Amino acid sequence: MKKILSIICILLVNTFTAQGQDWFSDFHMCETKVDTTIAFPSTANSDSIFTWILNDEPFVHNSDSSITIDTSGVFTLEIINVGGDTLSDSFEVIIDLEEYDFVVSLNTEQSLDSVITMCLEEAPTLATSQSDYTHFWYLDGFLLDDSLSENTLEVEAILEEIDFNSEHIYTAEIENTCGIVHAKNEVTLIVNECYCALNMPNVFTPNGDEHNNLFKPYNDHEDQAEAENMCESTDFTMEVFSQWGKHMATIDSGNDYPSWDGLNKRGKAVPEGVYFYRIVYKVNIYTLPTVKEITGFVHLYRD
Protein backbone atom coordinates (compact mmCIF):
# COMPACT_ATOMS: atom_id res chain seq x y z
CA MET A 1 0.00 0.00 0.00
CA LYS A 2 1.43 3.38 -0.97
CA LYS A 3 0.65 6.57 0.92
CA ILE A 4 1.59 10.13 0.24
CA LEU A 5 2.86 12.33 3.06
CA SER A 6 2.14 16.00 2.51
CA ILE A 7 4.65 18.13 4.40
CA ILE A 8 4.10 21.86 4.45
CA CYS A 9 7.18 23.78 5.61
CA ILE A 10 6.85 27.53 6.07
CA LEU A 11 9.92 29.26 7.53
CA LEU A 12 10.44 32.98 7.45
CA VAL A 13 13.58 34.01 9.34
CA ASN A 14 15.40 37.29 9.17
CA THR A 15 18.86 36.93 7.75
CA PHE A 16 21.87 38.70 9.08
CA THR A 17 21.40 41.38 6.49
CA ALA A 18 18.85 44.16 6.40
CA GLN A 19 16.40 42.29 4.19
CA GLY A 20 14.38 39.15 4.95
CA GLN A 21 14.61 35.90 2.96
CA ASP A 22 12.47 32.81 2.41
CA TRP A 23 14.68 29.89 3.36
CA PHE A 24 12.29 27.05 2.64
CA SER A 25 9.45 26.33 0.25
CA ASP A 26 6.48 23.98 0.38
CA PHE A 27 7.05 20.42 -0.75
CA HIS A 28 5.47 16.95 -0.74
CA MET A 29 7.04 13.76 0.46
CA CYS A 30 6.06 10.13 -0.08
CA GLU A 31 6.04 7.33 2.45
CA THR A 32 9.27 5.89 1.09
CA LYS A 33 10.98 9.20 1.90
CA VAL A 34 9.44 9.81 5.30
CA ASP A 35 12.68 11.15 6.83
CA THR A 36 13.36 14.58 5.38
CA THR A 37 16.42 16.63 6.28
CA ILE A 38 16.15 20.41 6.70
CA ALA A 39 19.47 22.22 6.54
CA PHE A 40 20.30 25.59 8.04
CA PRO A 41 20.35 28.47 5.56
CA SER A 42 23.70 28.77 3.89
CA THR A 43 23.66 32.53 4.50
CA ALA A 44 23.78 32.04 8.27
CA ASN A 45 27.05 32.61 10.11
CA SER A 46 28.67 29.31 11.03
CA ASP A 47 29.71 30.82 14.40
CA SER A 48 26.10 31.43 15.39
CA ILE A 49 24.27 29.20 17.86
CA PHE A 50 21.35 27.24 16.43
CA THR A 51 18.57 25.74 18.53
CA TRP A 52 15.63 23.70 17.24
CA ILE A 53 12.40 23.46 19.23
CA LEU A 54 9.46 21.12 18.45
CA ASN A 55 6.15 21.95 20.11
CA ASP A 56 7.93 23.99 22.83
CA GLU A 57 10.36 21.16 23.59
CA PRO A 58 14.03 21.01 22.57
CA PHE A 59 14.56 19.06 19.37
CA VAL A 60 17.86 17.29 18.77
CA HIS A 61 19.57 18.29 15.55
CA ASN A 62 22.07 16.37 13.47
CA SER A 63 25.83 16.63 13.74
CA ASP A 64 25.94 18.95 10.75
CA SER A 65 23.44 21.31 12.41
CA SER A 66 20.54 20.18 10.21
CA ILE A 67 17.46 18.37 11.46
CA THR A 68 15.70 15.27 10.19
CA ILE A 69 11.91 15.57 10.26
CA ASP A 70 9.92 12.40 10.76
CA THR A 71 6.90 13.78 12.58
CA SER A 72 4.41 16.62 12.33
CA GLY A 73 4.30 19.64 14.60
CA VAL A 74 5.43 23.22 15.00
CA PHE A 75 9.19 23.62 14.60
CA THR A 76 10.96 26.74 15.86
CA LEU A 77 14.45 27.72 14.90
CA GLU A 78 16.35 30.12 17.19
CA ILE A 79 19.62 31.64 15.99
CA ILE A 80 21.89 33.60 18.31
CA ASN A 81 24.47 35.43 16.27
CA VAL A 82 27.98 36.41 17.35
CA GLY A 83 26.75 39.78 18.59
CA GLY A 84 24.23 38.16 20.95
CA ASP A 85 21.14 39.00 18.91
CA THR A 86 18.48 36.26 18.82
CA LEU A 87 16.45 35.61 15.70
CA SER A 88 13.66 33.09 15.63
CA ASP A 89 10.73 31.97 13.59
CA SER A 90 8.53 28.89 13.35
CA PHE A 91 7.11 26.68 10.65
CA GLU A 92 4.48 23.99 10.77
CA VAL A 93 4.92 20.51 9.41
CA ILE A 94 1.67 18.72 8.60
CA ILE A 95 1.94 15.08 7.65
CA ASP A 96 -1.33 13.85 6.17
CA LEU A 97 -1.61 10.18 5.25
CA GLU A 98 -3.83 9.90 2.19
CA GLU A 99 -4.36 6.36 0.94
CA TYR A 100 -3.99 5.65 -2.76
CA ASP A 101 -5.14 2.06 -2.71
CA PHE A 102 -7.71 1.55 -5.45
CA VAL A 103 -9.56 -1.21 -7.26
CA VAL A 104 -10.79 -1.70 -10.81
CA SER A 105 -14.59 -1.96 -10.94
CA LEU A 106 -17.01 -2.99 -13.68
CA ASN A 107 -20.51 -1.80 -14.54
CA THR A 108 -22.14 -5.03 -13.41
CA GLU A 109 -23.60 -6.42 -10.22
CA GLN A 110 -21.63 -9.64 -10.60
CA SER A 111 -18.86 -10.40 -8.13
CA LEU A 112 -15.40 -9.36 -9.31
CA ASP A 113 -13.94 -12.41 -7.58
CA SER A 114 -15.08 -14.71 -10.39
CA VAL A 115 -14.98 -14.75 -14.19
CA ILE A 116 -17.59 -12.33 -15.49
CA THR A 117 -19.53 -12.77 -18.73
CA MET A 118 -21.15 -9.71 -20.29
CA CYS A 119 -22.81 -8.83 -23.55
CA LEU A 120 -21.15 -6.20 -25.71
CA GLU A 121 -24.56 -4.57 -25.94
CA GLU A 122 -24.38 -3.95 -22.17
CA ALA A 123 -21.41 -1.62 -22.83
CA PRO A 124 -18.96 -3.24 -20.39
CA THR A 125 -16.88 -0.45 -18.86
CA LEU A 126 -14.03 -0.68 -16.36
CA ALA A 127 -13.34 2.19 -14.00
CA THR A 128 -11.41 3.36 -10.94
CA SER A 129 -12.14 6.07 -8.37
CA GLN A 130 -8.81 7.81 -9.05
CA SER A 131 -10.12 10.30 -11.56
CA ASP A 132 -7.43 12.93 -10.93
CA TYR A 133 -4.50 10.84 -12.15
CA THR A 134 -3.13 9.49 -15.41
CA HIS A 135 -4.12 5.84 -15.91
CA PHE A 136 -2.32 2.97 -17.58
CA TRP A 137 -4.67 0.15 -18.59
CA TYR A 138 -3.40 -3.40 -19.03
CA LEU A 139 -4.95 -6.27 -21.01
CA ASP A 140 -3.56 -9.72 -20.20
CA GLY A 141 -0.46 -8.10 -18.74
CA PHE A 142 0.26 -5.88 -21.74
CA LEU A 143 -0.05 -2.10 -21.69
CA LEU A 144 -2.82 -0.78 -23.91
CA ASP A 145 -2.55 2.34 -26.04
CA ASP A 146 -1.34 5.27 -23.94
CA SER A 147 -4.21 7.39 -25.27
CA LEU A 148 -6.44 5.36 -22.92
CA SER A 149 -5.34 7.38 -19.90
CA GLU A 150 -8.68 8.22 -18.30
CA ASN A 151 -10.11 6.46 -15.25
CA THR A 152 -12.64 4.58 -17.42
CA LEU A 153 -12.04 2.02 -20.16
CA GLU A 154 -14.85 1.00 -22.53
CA VAL A 155 -14.34 -2.50 -23.91
CA GLU A 156 -15.91 -1.42 -27.19
CA ALA A 157 -12.91 0.90 -27.69
CA ILE A 158 -10.49 -2.06 -27.76
CA LEU A 159 -12.45 -4.66 -29.77
CA GLU A 160 -9.46 -5.18 -32.05
CA GLU A 161 -7.46 -6.33 -29.01
CA ILE A 162 -9.86 -9.00 -27.69
CA ASP A 163 -11.50 -12.24 -28.81
CA PHE A 164 -15.18 -12.84 -28.24
CA ASN A 165 -16.08 -15.65 -25.83
CA SER A 166 -12.52 -15.64 -24.42
CA GLU A 167 -11.23 -14.75 -20.98
CA HIS A 168 -9.23 -11.53 -20.81
CA ILE A 169 -7.66 -10.00 -17.70
CA TYR A 170 -7.92 -6.26 -17.10
CA THR A 171 -6.13 -4.10 -14.54
CA ALA A 172 -4.75 -0.58 -14.19
CA GLU A 173 -2.05 1.62 -12.73
CA ILE A 174 -2.06 5.30 -11.85
CA GLU A 175 0.76 7.79 -11.73
CA ASN A 176 0.77 10.31 -8.90
CA THR A 177 3.40 12.35 -7.08
CA CYS A 178 4.76 9.17 -5.50
CA GLY A 179 5.21 7.41 -8.83
CA ILE A 180 3.31 4.39 -10.17
CA VAL A 181 0.61 2.79 -7.99
CA HIS A 182 -0.90 -0.58 -8.95
CA ALA A 183 -4.57 -1.50 -8.60
CA LYS A 184 -5.33 -3.99 -5.84
CA ASN A 185 -7.20 -6.33 -8.17
CA GLU A 186 -7.66 -7.71 -11.65
CA VAL A 187 -10.93 -8.26 -13.53
CA THR A 188 -11.39 -11.37 -15.65
CA LEU A 189 -14.03 -10.70 -18.29
CA ILE A 190 -15.62 -12.61 -21.17
CA VAL A 191 -17.45 -10.48 -23.74
CA ASN A 192 -19.99 -11.80 -26.24
CA GLU A 193 -22.25 -10.22 -28.81
CA CYS A 194 -25.57 -11.49 -27.54
CA TYR A 195 -28.30 -9.93 -29.62
CA CYS A 196 -27.11 -10.23 -33.23
CA ALA A 197 -30.05 -8.23 -34.51
CA LEU A 198 -30.67 -8.46 -38.26
CA ASN A 199 -31.30 -5.35 -40.29
CA MET A 200 -34.29 -5.69 -42.64
CA PRO A 201 -35.06 -3.51 -45.68
CA ASN A 202 -38.62 -2.22 -45.95
CA VAL A 203 -38.76 -2.06 -49.77
CA PHE A 204 -37.62 -4.32 -52.62
CA THR A 205 -38.24 -4.35 -56.37
CA PRO A 206 -38.09 -7.79 -58.03
CA ASN A 207 -38.36 -6.43 -61.61
CA GLY A 208 -35.29 -8.08 -63.14
CA ASP A 209 -33.16 -4.93 -63.38
CA GLU A 210 -30.36 -6.42 -61.24
CA HIS A 211 -31.00 -3.94 -58.44
CA ASN A 212 -32.79 -4.80 -55.19
CA ASN A 213 -34.39 -7.91 -56.68
CA LEU A 214 -34.26 -9.92 -53.43
CA PHE A 215 -35.72 -9.30 -50.01
CA LYS A 216 -33.17 -10.52 -47.45
CA PRO A 217 -31.66 -9.52 -44.10
CA TYR A 218 -28.19 -8.17 -43.56
CA ASN A 219 -26.00 -7.33 -40.57
CA ASP A 220 -22.59 -5.89 -39.77
CA HIS A 221 -20.89 -9.29 -39.53
CA GLU A 222 -21.66 -10.46 -43.04
CA ASP A 223 -18.04 -9.97 -44.14
CA GLN A 224 -16.35 -11.06 -40.91
CA ALA A 225 -13.46 -13.34 -41.86
CA GLU A 226 -13.37 -15.23 -38.58
CA ALA A 227 -17.00 -15.84 -37.77
CA GLU A 228 -16.19 -18.07 -34.79
CA ASN A 229 -14.92 -14.98 -32.99
CA MET A 230 -18.08 -13.02 -33.67
CA CYS A 231 -21.81 -13.33 -33.37
CA GLU A 232 -22.97 -16.07 -35.77
CA SER A 233 -26.55 -16.73 -36.96
CA THR A 234 -27.82 -20.04 -38.39
CA ASP A 235 -30.91 -22.19 -39.01
CA PHE A 236 -32.87 -19.55 -40.90
CA THR A 237 -36.51 -19.97 -41.83
CA MET A 238 -38.51 -17.13 -43.38
CA GLU A 239 -42.26 -17.16 -44.01
CA VAL A 240 -44.05 -14.54 -46.12
CA PHE A 241 -47.77 -13.66 -45.93
CA SER A 242 -50.00 -11.26 -47.79
CA GLN A 243 -51.45 -8.31 -45.90
CA TRP A 244 -54.65 -10.39 -45.50
CA GLY A 245 -52.75 -13.25 -43.86
CA LYS A 246 -52.49 -15.62 -46.85
CA HIS A 247 -49.33 -17.74 -46.78
CA MET A 248 -47.20 -16.89 -49.83
CA ALA A 249 -43.83 -18.60 -49.39
CA THR A 250 -41.52 -20.43 -46.96
CA ILE A 251 -37.73 -20.24 -47.32
CA ASP A 252 -35.54 -22.65 -45.32
CA SER A 253 -32.00 -21.43 -45.97
CA GLY A 254 -30.03 -23.21 -43.25
CA ASN A 255 -26.90 -21.23 -42.40
CA ASP A 256 -27.39 -18.68 -45.19
CA TYR A 257 -29.50 -15.56 -44.96
CA PRO A 258 -32.98 -16.27 -46.38
CA SER A 259 -34.00 -14.31 -49.43
CA TRP A 260 -37.38 -13.94 -51.14
CA ASP A 261 -37.59 -13.26 -54.88
CA GLY A 262 -41.21 -12.13 -54.93
CA LEU A 263 -42.61 -15.50 -56.06
CA ASN A 264 -45.27 -17.48 -54.23
CA LYS A 265 -44.93 -21.15 -53.28
CA ARG A 266 -46.12 -22.17 -56.76
CA GLY A 267 -43.42 -20.07 -58.43
CA LYS A 268 -45.76 -17.30 -59.61
CA ALA A 269 -44.95 -13.62 -59.24
CA VAL A 270 -47.01 -11.97 -56.53
CA PRO A 271 -48.58 -8.55 -57.18
CA GLU A 272 -47.26 -5.30 -55.81
CA GLY A 273 -48.29 -4.55 -52.26
CA VAL A 274 -47.40 -4.88 -48.59
CA TYR A 275 -46.28 -8.28 -47.28
CA PHE A 276 -45.76 -9.56 -43.79
CA TYR A 277 -42.67 -11.65 -42.93
CA ARG A 278 -41.59 -13.79 -40.01
CA ILE A 279 -37.97 -14.98 -39.64
CA VAL A 280 -36.82 -17.53 -37.05
CA TYR A 281 -33.12 -18.17 -36.59
CA LYS A 282 -30.50 -19.18 -34.06
CA VAL A 283 -27.82 -16.75 -32.85
CA ASN A 284 -24.50 -17.03 -31.04
CA ILE A 285 -23.82 -20.64 -31.88
CA TYR A 286 -20.23 -20.19 -30.67
CA THR A 287 -21.13 -18.37 -27.47
CA LEU A 288 -24.67 -18.30 -26.06
CA PRO A 289 -26.99 -20.19 -28.47
CA THR A 290 -30.45 -18.59 -28.55
CA VAL A 291 -33.45 -18.84 -30.88
CA LYS A 292 -34.74 -15.46 -32.04
CA GLU A 293 -37.71 -14.32 -34.08
CA ILE A 294 -38.25 -11.10 -35.96
CA THR A 295 -41.36 -9.92 -37.81
CA GLY A 296 -42.28 -6.93 -39.93
CA PHE A 297 -43.65 -5.59 -43.20
CA VAL A 298 -42.03 -5.01 -46.60
CA HIS A 299 -43.31 -3.06 -49.61
CA LEU A 300 -42.95 -4.86 -52.96
CA TYR A 301 -42.75 -2.74 -56.11
CA ARG A 302 -42.19 -3.97 -59.69
CA ASP A 303 -41.86 -0.76 -61.69
Whether 52 is covered by a domain: the verdict is yes
As for how many domains the chain has, the answer is 3
List pLDDT tens digits, range 160-204.
899 888 899 999 999 876 678 899 999 999 998 777 777 889 999
Asked which of 48, 68, 98 is the last residue of a domain, the reply is: 98
Is 42 inside a domain boundary? yes
Predicted pLDDT of residue 128? 95
Q: Looking at the structure, tell me whether residues 128 and 148 fall in a common domain.
A: yes
CA quadruple 50, 56, 61, 65: dihedral, nearest 10: -20
CATH, residue 290? 2.60.40
* 10 located within any domain: yes
Same domain, 186 and 209: no
Together in a domain, 177 and 207: no
Same domain, residue pair 210 and 165: no
Residue that is last in its domain, among 133, 163, 192: 192
Strand stretches in 81-145, DSSP E? 86-93, 96-99, 105-106, 116-119, 125-127, 134-139, 142-143
Q: Which of 38, 67, 98 is the last residue of a domain?
A: 98
Task: Return the pLDDT at 17.
Answer: 35
| Per-residue model confidence as pLDDT tens digits over 51-75 | 888 888 888 877 667 788 777 778 7
**Predicted confidence (pLDDT) at residue 12 exceeds the cutoff of 50:** no
More confident residue, 299 or 85: 299
- The string of pLDDT tens digits covering residues 218-242 is 765 544 444 444 567 788 999 999 9
CATH value at residue 141: 2.60.40.10
Tell whether 167 and 255 lie within a shared domain. Answer: no
Residue 65's domain comprises: 3-98
Does this model's pTM top 0.75? no
Give per-residue pLDDT as tens, 236-294. 999 999 999 999 999 999 888 899 999 999 999 999 999 999 999 888 776 677 888 99
Cα separation, 204 vs 209, whole angstroms: 12
Residues near 250 by Cβ (< 8 Å), separated by ≥ 6?
Answer: 237, 238, 239, 240, 265
Are 31 and 57 members of one domain?
Answer: yes
Residues 141 and 207 reside in one and the same domain = no
Q: Is residue 198 domain-resident? A: no
For residue 266, count other CB atoms closer than 10 A to its CB: 7
User: In terms of domains, do 225 and 296 share one?
Assistant: yes
Task: Residue count of the chain, please give it.
Answer: 303
Q: Does 218 map to a domain?
A: yes
Contacts of 56 (CB under 8 A, 6+ apart): none
Q: Backbone phi, then psi, for 157, in 5-degree steps? A: -75, -10
Cβ 153 vs Cβ 125: under 8 Å: yes
Beta-carbon contacts of 125 under 8 Å, excluding residues fewer than 6 positions away, are 106, 107, 152, 153, 154, 155
Q: How far apart are CA 241 and CA 239, in angstroms?
A: 7
Helix (H, G, I), strand (E, B), or coil: what is residue 233?
strand
Same-domain status, 233 and 185: no
In a shared domain, residues 71 and 129? no
* Ranges 25-34, 93-102, 143-152, 187-196: which has the least confidence: 25-34
